Amino acid sequence: MNPQHSVGIVTPQVARFDEALSLTCGRELPYFELVYETYGALNERHSNAVLICHALSGHHHAAGYHSAEDKKPGWWDECIGPGKAIDTNRFFVVCLNNLGGCHGSTGPSSINPATGKPWGPDFPPIRTRDWVHSQARLADYLGIACWAAVIGGSLGGMQAMRWSLEYPERIRHCIVIAAALKLSAQNLAFNEVARQAIESDPNFAEGDYQAKNTVPARGLALARMIGHITYLSDDAMANKFGRDLRSGSLSKGEAANAEFQVQSYLRHQGSQFSGSFDANTYILMTRALDYFDLALEYDNDPVVAFSHARCSFLVISFSTDWRFSPERSREIVNALLAADRPVTYAEIEANEGHDAFLMPIPRYLDVFRAYMLRVGDDS
């Protein structure tokens, strides 16, 4: 643990909701639990609360450490902490594990009350809107009538946008980083191959692996590798690995060994992930991503959609992000402008591809911090 500029040691909490939640698919969850963390203190007027929405494989542990021995802080520790862009001296920051997740919130690994066994593949499909509705329950639970800001990168940015339409009176600022109004056919294709990789693993057992006491580790590792390539720019990969051979010399035997550094890196990433993430959750979350389409119920017109929003927006994109490129962010900005919504847009020069939103890129952090000062002014 590195306590400097850190929120320090944090403890996850669990909120249980006993009123049923109606889902977009038509089914309902009779009850559910959400695991979450908070950083900073809620002010007297409850006006300084900020919600962090996580991306595809994220969770509630966004900042700080779980123990003094912890080596790695939360996934967005670069942005959340005392004096950081999301300044915990000023804001009460809430981050949860989304419904359907595998880090403590109700999801496919939880017990299905109807059967007494894990839901597994029978867990209902979740849409971004469902996440937003469940997050509103958490806001009620915490006594937060209106978020100072809802903030997210990638799939998290999509949740933030959905918040601006579902609960226009409950959000003052919406911060959308490296996101898009909907996925492109290429985005859909990568998600499909990732799911196919999981479903092709015989240990997947049509999603019933938990009951069979197996784990589709190879499929999940493959899915992660595919995702990982799309998070990095070609340049970032070149800088990280180039074409360096792992052993420094050409293997004559053409063994199944990784020969280039990038190969062993990918294998390492894949196997780490498959040991810590649930396959049904991965499928559920990629589907939520596939089906996200902000304007679908608004005549397929994002201008019509955003005309329902009441908050101010900050939109940020990164030059080498080819998963959700700056062009996709400009579509968001153009729709917001056409809908007469206040919007600030920053396109950050960064070499890191989509992953840039997690990185300490000075210009990015400066823009982010400057905007958050404005958020403070309203409260």
Q: Please give the positions annotated as active site.
A: 154, 321, 354
DSSP 113: T
Taking the least distance from each CB to a second copy, the nearer of 231 and 371 is 231
The residue written with tokens 């950081």 in the block is: 84
Pairing of strands 312-318, 173-177: parallel
Cβ(54)–Cβ(93) below 8 Å: no
Q: Could you say whether residue 275 binds a second copy (CB under 8 A)?
A: no
Report the candidate in 373, 82, 357 with the shortest Cα–Cα distance to residue 233: 357
CA distances in angstroms from 236 to 229, 233, 243, 255, 262, listed in the order given? 10, 5, 13, 28, 11
Query: Could you tell me the smallest distance in angstroms from the CB atom of residue 265 to a second copy?
Result: 9
Q: Which of 1, 146, 237, 303 binds a second copy (CB under 8 A)?
A: 237
Query: Could you tell me the smallest distance in angstroms from the CB atom of residue 307 to a second copy?
Result: 22
Q: Could you say whether residue 21 binds a second copy (CB under 8 A)?
A: no
| Other C-beta atoms lying within 10 Å of the C-beta of residue 237 | 16
Sequence-ordered list of residues with C-beta below 8 angstroms from that of 322, at least 6 positions apart, any chain: 230, 233, 353, 354
Question: How many whole angstroms from its chain centre is CA 82?
Answer: 22
Query: Could you tell me the smallest distance in angstroms from the CB atom of residue 39 to a second copy?
Result: 35
Q: How would you class 13 by CB atoms within 10 Å of its CB: exposed for 0-12, middle for 13-18, buried for 19 or more?
A: middle
Query: Could you tell me the smallest distance in angstroms from the CB atom of residue 238 to a second copy?
Result: 5
Q: Which of 136, 146, 229, 359 binds a second copy (CB under 8 A)?
A: 229
* Piece of 48-56, 131-139, 266-274, 340-348 that binds a second copy (CB under 8 A): 266-274
Q: Could you say whether residue 356 binds a second copy (CB under 8 A)?
A: no
* Piece of 41-49, 95-103, 224-232, 338-346 that binds a second copy (CB under 8 A): 224-232
Taking the least distance from each CB to a second copy, the nearer of 15 and 258 is 258
Taking the least distance from each CB to a second copy, the nearer of 110 and 230 is 230
Query: Could you tell me the smallest distance in angstroms from the CB atom of residue 112 to a second copy?
Result: 15
Q: Which of 169, 206, 213, 362 binds a second copy (CB under 8 A)?
A: 206
Q: How would you class 62 by CB atoms within 10 Å of its CB: exposed for 0-12, middle for 13-18, buried for 19 or more?
A: buried
Give the C-alpha separation, 232 to 265, whole Å: 13
Q: Could you say whether residue 137 binds a second copy (CB under 8 A)?
A: no
Interface residues toward a second copy, by CB under 8 A: 25-26, 124-125, 182-186, 188-190, 192-193, 196-197, 199-202, 206, 218-219, 221-222, 225-226, 229, 232, 234, 237-238, 240-243, 250, 252, 254, 256, 258-260, 262-263, 266-267, 270, 287, 290-291, 293, 322
